[in-house]
Structures are given as C-alpha cells and as structure tokens.
Structure 1
Amino acid sequence: MDNSVKYGGFWIRFAASLIDFVILFTCFYIPFLPIIFGEPPESITPVILIYAAEYIAGLAYFIIMPVTSWQGTIGKKLLGLKIVNENGRRLTIGKSILRYLSFTVSALILYIGFIMAGFTSRKQALHDMMVKTYVVKSRTSSVAEPISGQAAFK
C-alpha cells in the first residue's frame, strides 16, 4: 500500500459499527420482539429458529458485504470507508470469513483488539493485523460524495 492511502481510524470505524448495529437491530430484532417477549410459545422451536435466522443474517452481513463492490458494511459505505487486502484490493470470501472469525479474538481481550485501531500506524485493529486487511478512506475529498441523483450541499 502506498503512502497516499488514508486509513480509517478508531472513531470513524466505531461510528460505522454503530450504524451497522442500528441497521441490524432494526431489521432483525425489532420485528421479532413481540414473538420473543410475548406469550411464551408452546414450543421453543420458533424462538430457536428466530435466533438462528438472526445469527445467520448477521454473519452474512459481516462476511458478504466486504466482498461486494462496496467493500464493507453499510455503515462503512456511508462514512466513506472500505476494507481492502494487503494489495489494496477487494477481499476474497475466504479472507472475509477469516476476518470475521478473528473479531472474536479482538473482543475476547476486553475489546482491546478493536481499540488498537486508534494507536497503530496503519489504523489496524487486531483482527486486521491477523488477516492482513486494512480499512481505508474511499473518498479523497473532505466533502462526502453525493449519492447518485442527489445534489451535493455547498
């Protein structure tokens, strides 16, 4: 990676994570709250199926989104970030799976693995270091690019 690359630091990555949390919570948890907290079902099977569906959807979100043309989650896209490999290219599905699995290590050590992104020269969290990935700024201007068909603020 060349020196002109601007890496996404801790706070912008944290903000992207909050956006992702709101999206996932809204899409996958709120619709099921009446089922989960309502009258107990006659069988535990529906609750297990709901939790399994939520887990698989979250797993797919954090594994598949980085290998799309967006190169990151919706939160990262909205904040002008993308995830790249050591050559500055899009992740393969295998590398994306490894990155997701390595989140566990970053979390298990009291989330210090995530906080490391604020202190390393290339703004890498522990899971990024483990699989040789980087979160970079995909917008070079200081003003966010407008979404296609919308006017930019001046």
Structure 2
Amino acid sequence: MEVWIGRQGERHGPYQEEQVREWLRSSQLSPDDLCWYDGLADWQPLSVLFPLDKPAPAPNPYAPPPLQQQPASTNHFDYAGFWQRFGAWIIDLIILMIPSMIVMVSSGGMEAYKHMVERIQGGADMAMALRDYAQVTETASLISLAITFLYYTFFEASKWQATPGKLALRLRVTDVHGARISIGRSAARNIVRLSGAIFGLIPLVCYAAIAWTQRKQGLHDLWASTFVLNGTAQQQPPQGRPPGDDQGSFHA
C-alpha cells in the first residue's frame, strides 16, 4: 500500500506502508502527522491509521535517572562527498552550456571570437585582443551568469531540492535540520557561486572546502547553513521545521 504524508502544507510520497511504520517507530514521523492512501475519504493522523504495535512502557519510579542526552545533532546525516558533488557540477555545467551558447551565438559572440583569433594569428597584441573580445561579449556573459544563478537558486529550493545534476547522482540540498531550503536561503547560497564565477574561481571557491570540513560543506554551504546529502527528497520522510513553526493543518 502506498501512503502519502502531509506536513507543513505540503504532500510527500508516496511511501510504502512498512517505511511509514518504521519511521513512526524511530520517531522520524510524528503520530500527529497527516496521511492518506487510496480509498480514504480524507486525510487522517498517522496515530489513527497506524497505531504503534506496542505502547511505550510506563516509567519505573525506582529506576536510576537516565544519562544526560546530547541535543539532537546532524551526525546521522549522510553527507555527499567531494567527487559526488563535483560530478553533479559537471552535469549541470553541460546542461547550462546550451542556453549560454544560444545567448553567445545570438549576440554575435562567435563572430567576435573568430575575429579575436584572426587578430592574434596576424600578430596583434594578445592582451588587447582578449580585452576587446571581453568587451564585445560582456552582455552575453552577464546573461549567462544570470541564467546560472536562477538555475541553481530555483532548482535547489524546489520540491526536488536539487538541480538536474544532483538528481542524477541522487543528492539533495537541505538546511541544518534536513528540511527543504527557502528561496531566500537558496539565493544566498548561490551568491557565493555567482561571485566565484565572476572572478573565475569555480570550482575552487565552492568545492575545495568540502574535502576538509567535518560535514563536507563548501564555502556556499557554510555561508547559507546548508548541507548536501545523499538520497533524493522523494526517498526521505518529510522533515519538519523546529517546534513552534507549524503553520496549520494540511490541505490536499
């Protein structure tokens, strides 16, 4: 049986019944979360449709006090490694080359490139030829940068939480709670990528830190407090925001 989960006004799934029961037992899902499956007239709390098999035992008043528990951490997250993320970047780069080439060709960039090569072969000063080429293609370069920024910003804040490159390698972008990031956080994250592209430091700026940071965060992750994790958003139980951020009931 396939089960849909409703949380924070969004629908997640579908998941298999055994997955849902396991997430309930491990407290990854709350009994108060809503769910629906084919045949139900309306959404119902998980506690109604999937009651736990065994009730929690009553506390023993004579038992010693429990050990001090550490606050919930992100140690259980499966962080994506350097080469996984670099591979995703390569895929996205190939995809982005298509609109960039269209912009470049339509703005006369190819003719400017041929003219630059002819000048250099004819003995003209290389630095001056490159400068003139950069001036001619400046508008096309700025448009390509804007396309790249919007591409990453909107895809990583989408329900997929990933660009096509990350989806291909089964990765997703989250906040520090493992939840989907907002459009504002995604934009802040990609300001660093945009800045690096302007100064020609991609992939150095964004990716070099992944190899030595504890949670495999690049500079753009550290700036925006984000993680890149293994597993697509559709494979995960819906992640809630911190307590007190509930915005009401779910509407299908």
The TM-score range, normalised by the shorter chain, is: 0.7 to 0.9
CA distance in 1, matches of 2:79, 2:110: 42
Structure with greater contact order relative to length (CA < 8 Å, sep ≥ 6): 1
* Structure 2 equivalent of residue 65 of structure 1: 155
* Structure 1 equivalent of residue 169 of structure 2: 79
* Structure 2 equivalent of residue 3 of structure 1: 75
Contact 1:18 1:75 (8 Å CA) reproduced: yes
CA RMSD for the aligned pairs? 3.0
Query: Which residue of 157, 166, 178 corresponds with 1:88?
Result: 178
110-119 or 74-83: which moved more? 110-119
Residues 91-115 of structure 1, C-alpha deviations (whole Å, 9 max, x = no match):
1011011101123369769925521
Contact 1:105 1:127 (8 Å CA) reproduced: no
Contact 1:32 1:50 (8 Å CA) reproduced: yes
The structure richer in strand per residue is 2
* Alpha-carbon distance change, 31 to 19 in structure 1, aligned in 2, over 3 angstroms: same
The structure richer in helix per residue is 1
Alignment coverage as a number of residue pairs: 134
Aligned residue runs from structure 1 range 116-127, under 5 A: 116-127=209-220
Q: Secondary structure at the match of 2:162?
A: coil
Aligned residue runs from structure 1 range 92-103, under 5 A: 92-103=182-193
Report the TM-score, using the length of structure 1 for normalisation: 0.72
Aligned residue runs from structure 1 range 127-142, under 5 A: 127-138=220-231
CA distance in 2, matches of 1:88, 1:137: 11
Q: Where does the alignment leave 5 or more consecutive residues of structure 1 unmatched?
A: 41-45, 140-154
Report the TM-score, using the length of structure 2 for normalisation: 0.46
Residues 118-143 of structure 1, C-alpha deviations (whole Å, 9 max, x = no match):
1122111122112110000015xxxx
Q: Secondary structure at the match of 1:11?
A: helix
* Structure 2 equivalent of residue 36 of structure 1: 109
* Alpha-carbon distance change, 130 to 29 in structure 1, aligned in 2, over 3 angstroms: same
Question: 1:58 Cα shift?
Answer: 1.4
Contact 1:76 1:82 (8 Å CA) reproduced: yes
Contact 1:16 1:76 (8 Å CA) reproduced: yes
Identity %: 28
Amino acid at match of 2:229: V
CA distance in 1, matches of 2:101, 2:202: 27
